[in-house]
Amino acid sequence: MDRLLPLIQNEALKIWKKKRFLVILIVLLILIPIFTYAQMKIAETNKSHFKDWRNQLVQQINEYQNMLSSDRIPDEWKRSRRIAVQQLQYYLDHDVNPNSPDGVTFTRSFMSNAVTLFFPLLVLAIASDLVSGERTAGTIKMLLTRPVRRWKILFSKLVALTMYVSLTVVASAVLCYLISGAVFGYDGWAMPVFTGFVIQGSSIESSFVHAVPQWLYLLMEAGLIWVSSMSVALLALMVSVLVRSTAASIVTMMAAVISGTILSSMSSSWQSAKFIFSVNLQLTDYLAGSPPPITGMTLGFSLLVLAFWAAASLTVSFSVFTKQDIMN
């Protein structure tokens, strides 16, 4: 380990000096205010229409119910609405505001909305050229002719990548809280959030529902986002090992991630799509009790699928990287 630490330091410093993390922070600093502003506009509209959040919630439930009574709406869509109604009703019945306008709640919803596309994107900014970048620049020759085993080089890159994935998730949450808090206020840590909704068909089994303080919910959410981001990171690392050009590596991964998002929304009719890694990225849905993209998917299932993809990418990455000839 004492020999690995300097290698990890190398990789971490290179990512930093390439200003990759700075780019991520800048992207966050631009996007979060935009979303905060949009949320502020929504809150303003609601405020002018409704006396308090309960009126808004009851109206929302009512609108869903009216949609459910229409014949023109697809069953799949109805199913998820029916579940949403039951959840909102649960919040209403227990007099807890699911969308309270505060910094913590905004952060929570921003994070869960970002998990399928935005976080993978940020992760790709770091992971995509981790190996292919060294090849393009030719520095891989310097790296691999030092008296260090190749697996150690890749391992140190992997650890550095993990570090930045963690930093990205935490930095997003912190920036989100700081920026949105300036508009919505900095409290909401102790507010109760319900979790443990068990979905059965189109109804919710609420016997396991329990309230957790929002700070804990946010922590759990961030943990799940980290796992899903890590699986993207490991896959991106593999692509970066296999594909010589960084551009090709980014495009490949973006295609994989985006197609997963599209498949998730098309859903259900193609059952085996649930084995595709990018369909399983929305781990936070299980926490919130939203219906999964394909019926029958559970947290355990998604974690297994992601773990399988991660393990496979690691195996491929290491076996290719340690054996391949560096020809250019």
Asked if 221 touches another protein (CB under 8 A), the answer is yes
Asked if 296 touches another protein (CB under 8 A), the answer is no
Cβ 34 to another protein, closest distance in Å?
Answer: 25
Residue partners of 179: CB distance under 8 A and separation at least 6? 29, 32, 33, 36
Contact in structure between 217 and 108 (CB atoms under 8 Å): yes
What backbone phi and psi angles, to 5 degrees, belong to 170? -65, -45
Asked if 130 touches another protein (CB under 8 A), the answer is no
Select the residue interacting with another protein from 59, 203, 271, 315 (CB under 8 A): 59
First to last CA, the chain: 31
Asked if 9 touches another protein (CB under 8 A), the answer is yes
**Strand ranges (E), the chain:** 192-195, 198-200, 203-205, 210-213
Contact in structure between 283 and 227 (CB atoms under 8 Å): yes
Asked if 200 touches another protein (CB under 8 A), the answer is no
* Window of 61-69, 113-121, 254-262, 264-272 that interacts with another protein by CB under 8 A: 61-69
Cβ 24 to another protein, closest distance in Å?
Answer: 13
Site for another protein in 228-257 (CB under 8 A): none
Pick the closer one to another protein by CB: 13 or 190. 13
Asked if 77 touches another protein (CB under 8 A), the answer is no
Angle (CA) 184 185 187, round 5°: 125
Asked if 222 touches another protein (CB under 8 A), the answer is yes
Cβ 194 to another protein, closest distance in Å?
Answer: 7
Pick the closer one to another protein by CB: 55 or 319. 55
Helix (H) and strand (E) counts in the chain: 13, 4
